[in-house]
Structure 1
Amino acid sequence: MLSAGRLSGRRATALAAAAAATALVLAPLAAAGSAAPAAATTTGATSPELTIAAVDPLVSEGESLEVEIVLDNPTDAIVPATSVEVLLTAAPIPTRYGLTRWFAGQSLLASSVIATVEVPAAPARLRATASATIDAASLGLDGRSWGAYGLAANGADLATATSVVVRDEPGEASPTRLSLVAPIDAGASDGLLDAAALEAATTIGGEARESLDAAIAAGLSFGIDPVFAASEAALGGEAPEAATSWLDRADRPEAYALEYANADPIAEVRAGVHPVELLGVPREDAPMLPPGVADVGTAAPVIDATSAVLRQDDLASLAGIGTVVLTTAGLDEMLVGSTPSAHVSIDGVEALAADAELQSLVREAVLDDDLAAADARARTLALLATITRERPSDSRALAAMLPASSLGDIGPLLSDLSDAGFVDTVEVEEALRGEPREASLAELDDPARDAGAELVTAALAQEAEVSSVSSIVEDPSALLADLRLQLLGALPDAGRAVTEADRIAIEGLGGAMGEVRHAVQILGGSDIQAVGQSLPLPITITNELDEPVTVQLSVRPSNALVTVPDPEVDVTIPASSQQRVQVPIEIVGTGGVLMIAQLSTPDGVSLGQLQTIRVQARPTIEAVVGWTLGTAIALLLGFGIWRSVRKRRRGEARGDLDDRPLRGRPQTTGTEETA
């Protein structure tokens, strides 16, 4: 029999699930139900379908069973009310193969009707729900063998729905040890949580609070997102007390640190950049905090590779970071007989291989909607019971990864597992004890292998572009630290395949980075009529950052009608403001000229786009005369030089007397002899 504490916990879970189902609780063999105002949920179905699940799949001696039946109607016609028979197999399903066939509707096992439930009519595109409580006598499990019993619902003109319940009286059987790992993440964020979001997550009833409580109660290893600690530190005295208490409670030996914002270490390893870490924690109106304030957990990291197709080099790199959990679907091995323990050596690299079927059920039990999750929890317990029955005297150590806490509620599954007498939930180190079995990685196609790495590379390339212009601010490290927070929040999450949402996040990150690169720029202006000899050229620079910037402004003319005595000027623009700079220019000719203005960082990196200002130059009369005289002198000098060179070439220049022949005098050649 159940203890008072266990019974009350089981009853609380059952009552909560029943309330969520909005169905009537009936006496044994009674018929009742209600049409639920919800859309039909059967994915891809073209005809009405039944679903059945036990509210609490564990049944002990003398306990009743509460079941819930849903009639999904994906058609445009009303499905009339119908009587549904609830059946239970006469004996436990003995093997994993038998369980698979039962769930696929391919197994014909001796069964008996234990209840009849009237399911109301299901309107078009909606579903109808009914529930029934079957007392222990009608259930007929008292005194029977322990294990997984098939549960079915059968209605006229409807396919039979299958589920399972577990008689939880394992006797002397050695419980199966299950190392579940619970990643507790902060969910979608820009890198930090504000006070309201942090308090909502960590207070009583909050997502992170409930997940942590459930993981500690079940004795699991759990990962903590450093976002929680970084946010609490950034808020300082304004941090909610609930967050501080939560972090203190999470500081346990079985806690390890997730990658920041639960980023995927596999994508980072494949991109060759692991780890992508914090650069600091920026604060408003206060100095930036060092990245160490986000440190949480002391245990070795656990890497969720259950959704990845690994190669040996991936595995070796990841094993150097922490404990890798993959699934048996990715292994090339021949298993005969009972289910093995999870500890495995893959060509010399040790890891944990989660049973592929168990891992899939664990995910469904957390991620699916209420009824589907209840059915997945029942199947999970049935599988574990069947594995335990394979070798009752030989305890195995299995492993599985729970989905991140932001994706679903891990509490109901952990509650059921804690209640079960045939399974013990333990820390991940338990699964690593003992000798590993030998295996190799299977050679599997993975068309999306590089998808995560490509997004990581793209994000870091965008960050590098901003880094190249960060010297415009007084403290570049604060600017880069803030951008790194946004980058980490946008990277693909661990434990799942890359999604379109990940690609959109990286594209959005590129937009945010682009805003920083173009936050300081020259505003376009109207044409300028420049009259005079020397006058200032007005150029307006805008700074959209929330801190002052220092840039170098360079100005050059497109022709010689205008000169710029000081073509490069250092300019400091206050935060979120505009500043007009007067650049002196000199007018030396009449006509149109384009003044080309360009901003750059103090270390010479171009910033933003070129801007051109059209200037119509009209110098004063003195400048015109001076320019004309100067031009005339230059032309005369040029003409004189040309004429002199030309004459020299002809040998007729006045200074070349020695080269001219003597006119009227006889020419002699050779050497004159003397007497």
Structure 2
Amino acid sequence: MPAESTTPRRLRRLLAFTASAAMSALVAMGAAAPAAAASAAAGVVPGDLGVVGVVAPAARNGSGLTPEATEDGVRVSVAPAGATAVAAGAGIDVVVEVVNRTGEALGAGTIALDVATSALSDAADVDAWSTGDSAERPEARRVAERASASLAAGAATTLTFTIPPDATGESWPAVGVAASLEIDGDTVAASTSVLANSRLPAADPVGLALAYPLTTPPIEEGLIPAERLEAWTAPTGALTRQLEAVSSAAVAIGVDPRIPASIRVLGSSAPQTAVEWLAELERMPNEVFPLAYADADLAAQAQAGLDAPLEPLGFDDAIDPADFTEGGEEDGATASPGRIPDAEALLDWTFTRTDIAWPADDTVASGDLDVFAAGGLTTAILSPGNVEPVEDAVSAGATIDGRAAVVADARVTPALRRAADAASDTEWRAATSRVLAELALAADEGVSTVLGTFGRSGGDGSDRVAATLSALASTPWSQPATLVDTVGAPPVERTLVSTSESQQRLDNVGRMLTAEQAVADFSDVLVDPSVLTAPTRRDLLALLSTGWIPQPTEWTAAVGRWLVDRRAITDAVSVVSSSTVLVVASETGIPITILNALPYPVEVVVSVAPSNGRLIVEDSVDVTVEPETRSTVSVPVAAGVGSGEVNLEVSLASPDGTPIGDAVIVPANVQADWEGVGAAVLAAIAVAVFAIGVLRSVRRRRRDRGAGATGAADAGAAGPAETGAAGPDAEPESRVAFDTAAPEPTETTEERPNG
């Protein structure tokens, strides 16, 4: 099993118990980002497909990536029937679709169809028609009315109309049509469309460059798990649909490097569908450039104070060497068998360019481009809302504050994204026809190159992308242009519209960066710090993904979980609280217990600081604590002056001195003078016991000698009577012999225990 699924899993089990309580606080701290921030990232505008009164962009490269006002209510769409362009001056078949997205049934009414009585010849005419500006809007002619039946909640219906030949002119560049639903005399819903006239091809087609982000739905993991890879690269998976939609089309692809890295890091255990998908990606002839890892939000990083965008720190912790043994199949898109890939090998790709930054829509603020450039991203793809609009027709290439950029077209891009996200064929044809009309007008104005960008859908709506690209490939008003050509074209000086991200979002990003630094500092206790720092960085980048921007509530919750887990890591090595320690010797050791809840051994330095001079700490102690265990170490201390209470502040640090966790107070009771008193008492007791023993021995010896002397005197008195025959003339030797034979008194010493 790969390391990613073992060690981190153990860590997650360890950390899970603290998640619930801290989550609530963190979610409250970082509430949902404002709706405007989410809207800016969605990259969808209303206009001719939405409710009447929604304003479309007025200038060619102005703002225009605002979202739909609502997905609820009654929606009306009008589009060419079975085509994306029309032949003006002839009968034109159009389809009007009504969708009831309310929770109630819709009553019967009337659908009316209007047509502009004059040509839409330029951008101002198109905007006036689309926005319903009464002062500037071309006059309309009602060409048809049809009764509509009642419509159940959630249902949709379509009606076909024919615009008579005399209602349009053969030389019109574009035709304006409008449809409305009236019930009981009130207009319930209405919309407008702009239809390109296929009878008026451009003499000088505009160069159309397209950029598509190949990403995944937002997830919290810095590496895509194998089960998700298998699902997303399946025949109907999100990644497969995206690849099929853009493969071999005239579109530059921004690839999230996390995708190939996640497949390669699994080696022989990677799902076969993922390996085949990666090989197919490598074979594509498209222009390819890298997005930030996990498509991380570049602008948020710059505005959070980073000097350059973050990058992954490594992948060694996620590699299982068993997946790279000899004998496995070798594929050009994956690592060679028998060789453990490093980070460079996992991220390696043959990119067309590697200097392109693609931040989220309308998020770039002043100074951000310099931060991008510090990371080697010297050319930025900017949304039209991030750049001051211009009245004259200009190409996509630009210079902003001395930095190279390409600006997405404010007229083509919104319609392009609506086409890619269309929920029905009618909506798709209406949006695609609008794209073609905008290209026709741009060509007529002499624009050389425009850039259209797809939204970061993560696979949603990719089914319409292929159809949209196919329609654009056959249009007479544009010709394919490469992103490289667009970047390399003579630039136009443009002005940045500084658009900072919400303060709430930046506050949460700041918290994550602080937490990551805390883990980096803490990781010095490990022999290999990368087992903590590398996954922390990858998961941080995953949470910075631009895909989270439209989901502020879900993102805030994910950030809260991540912050709780980081705090649990830095708290995993700590000093275990202790009861009062009694110190009764002038030199001794204080027992300190260290807890290591990590699945790795740690090396820490234990330091003790007494609160007063009653104890003197001689030195700190180095200790190695094995994984998921406790270890007790003795810190040497010496008695100072006097006795009493001392608070010992016990702290941990890494070998290089980085503080680890919080200090713990261990109370101590110092009675070191008891050692001298105790020794004196013991000495006195020993002397007393010895003296008593000697005294008793002397007294017994005296007693025994006294008894011997009395016996001798009695014997001497009885001697003459017993030896009377001898008389005074007896030889003295006989006394000597007696004295010699008489035994000496025996000294007996009774041994008793001392005391």
TM-score after normalising by structure 2: 0.65
- For the Cα contact (< 8 Å) 1:332–1:439, is it kept in 2? no
Q: Deviations over 1:431-490 (max 9, x none)?
A: 346544x33315x56464888777666544433333223221111233222221122223
Corresponding position of 1:304: 358
Report the alpha carbon displacement of residue 192 of structure 1 after superposing the two structures with TM.
0.6
1:323 pairs with 379, 389, 393, which one?
379
Change (3 A) 1:384 1:492: same
Listed as ranges, the matches of 1:357-368 within 5 Å are 357-366=411-420
Change (3 A) 1:203 1:562: same
Q: Deviations over 1:396-430 (max 9, x none)?
A: 42102222242732441441342242444543124
Corresponding position of 1:180: 210
CA distance in 1, matches of 2:562, 2:74: 44
1:220 pairs with 224, 246, 251, which one?
251
Moved more, 261-270 or 131-140: 131-140
1:283 pairs with 304, 318, 328, which one?
318
SS of equivalent residue, structure 1 residue 526: coil
Corresponding position of 1:196: 227
- For the Cα contact (< 8 Å) 1:325–1:400, is it kept in 2? no
Change (3 A) 1:214 1:407: closer
SS of equivalent residue, structure 2 residue 263: helix
CA RMSD of aligned residues (A): 4.4
Corresponding position of 2:48: none
SS of equivalent residue, structure 2 residue 414: helix
CA distance in 2, matches of 1:314, 1:587: 60
Change (3 A) 1:172 1:594: closer
Letter in 2 for 1:101: A
Report the alpha carbon displacement of residue 224 of structure 1 after superposing the two structures with TM.
0.8
2:129 pairs with 102, 122, 143, which one?
102
Letter in 1 for 2:380: V
CA distance in 1, matches of 2:384, 2:445: 24
Change (3 A) 1:323 1:498: farther
- The answer to whether 1:258 aligns with 2:291 is yes
- The answer to whether 1:344 aligns with 2:398 is yes
Change (3 A) 1:377 1:573: farther
Letter in 1 for 2:84: L
Percent identical: 24
- For the Cα contact (< 8 Å) 1:96–1:383, is it kept in 2? no
- The answer to whether 1:465 aligns with 2:518 is yes
Letter in 1 for 2:288: A
- For the Cα contact (< 8 Å) 2:578–2:666, is it kept in 1? yes
Change (3 A) 1:92 1:455: same
CA distance in 2, matches of 1:73, 1:138: 37
Report the alpha carbon displacement of residue 387 of structure 1 after superposing the two structures with TM.
3.7
Report the alpha carbon displacement of residue 313 of structure 1 after superposing the two structures with TM.
5.3
CA distance in 2, matches of 1:72, 1:479: 49
CA distance in 2, matches of 1:456, 1:343: 31
Corresponding position of 1:31: none
Letter in 2 for 1:326: L
- For the Cα contact (< 8 Å) 1:90–1:111, is it kept in 2? no
Structure 1: gaps spanning 5 or more residues: 1-40, 630-675
Letter in 2 for 1:575: P
Corresponding position of 2:573: 520
Listed as ranges, the matches of 1:149-160 within 5 Å are 149-156=176-183, 157-160=186-189
- The answer to whether 1:428 aligns with 2:461 is no
Corresponding position of 2:407: 353
Q: Deviations over 1:614-657 (max 9, x none)?
A: 3456679655335999xxxxxxxxxxxxxxxxxxxxxxxxxxxx
SS of equivalent residue, structure 1 residue 624: helix
Report the alpha carbon displacement of residue 278 of structure 1 after superposing the two structures with TM.
1.5
Change (3 A) 1:196 1:105: same
- The answer to whether 1:130 aligns with 2:157 is yes
Moved more, 58-67 or 217-226: 58-67
Considering fraction of residues, name the structure with more strand: 1
Corresponding position of 1:612: 665
Larger Rg, first or second structure (1 or 2):
2
CA distance in 1, matches of 2:92, 2:552: 44
CA distance in 1, matches of 2:109, 2:440: 38
Report the alpha carbon displacement of residue 515 of structure 1 after superposing the two structures with TM.
2.3
Listed as ranges, the matches of 1:9-48 within 5 Å are 43=70
CA distance in 2, matches of 1:274, 1:406: 25
2:275 pairs with 241, 244, 250, which one?
244
Moved more, 295-304 or 314-323: 314-323
Report the alpha carbon displacement of residue 353 of structure 1 after superposing the two structures with TM.
2.4
CA distance in 2, matches of 1:135, 1:389: 25
Change (3 A) 1:416 1:67: farther
2:440 pairs with 359, 367, 388, which one?
388
Report the alpha carbon displacement of residue 573 of structure 1 after superposing the two structures with TM.
1.7
- The answer to whether 1:549 aligns with 2:602 is yes
SS of equivalent residue, structure 2 residue 240: helix
Number of positions where the alignment pairs a residue of Structure 1 with one of Structure 2: 575
SS of equivalent residue, structure 1 residue 406: coil
Q: Deviations over 1:566-606 (max 9, x none)?
A: 64222222222333345566789865443432211112222
Letter in 2 for 1:278: P
